[in-house]
Amino acid sequence: MTTDADTPAYHYALIARALREIDSAGPGLGLDDLAARIGLSPAHFQRTFTAWVGVSPKRYQQYLTLDHARQMLSARHSTLETALEAGLSGTGRLHDLFLRWEAMSPGEFALGGAGLTIRWGWFDSPYGPALVMGTDRGICGLGFAAEMGEEATFADLAGRWPAAVYARDEAFLRPWALAAFGGGANADTALHLIGAPFQIKVWEALLHIPEGQVTTYSDLARVVGHPKAVRAVGTAVGRNPISLLIPCHRALRKSGALGGYHWGLPVKRAMLAREAARTGM
Identity of the amino acid at 262: H
Instruction: Answer whether 111's CB lies under 8 Å from 165's CB.
Output: no
Candidate list 53, 248, 251, 270, residue with the active-site label = 248
Classified as helix, coil or strand, 280 is coil
Reference 57, options 273, 267, 281; nearest CA is 273
Q: Provide the sign of the torsion angle of the four alpha carbons 93, 99, 105, 109, taken in this order.
A: negative
Please state, in angstroms and rounded to a whole number, the distance separating the CA atoms of residues 159 and 149. 15
3-class state of residue 99 by DSSP: strand
Q: What is the DSSP letter of 112?
A: T
Cα separation, 160 vs 152, whole angstroms: 13
Contact yes or no for 243/143 (Cβ under 8 A) = yes
Burial class of residue 32 in the structure, from the number of CB atoms within 10 Å of its CB (0-12 exposed, 13-18 middle, 19+ buried): exposed
**Other residues' Cβ atoms within 10 Å of the Cβ of residue 50:** 14
Catalytic residue flag (residue 140) = no
Query: Cα Rg for the chain, rounded, in angstroms?
Result: 19
Active-site residues, by number, are: 248
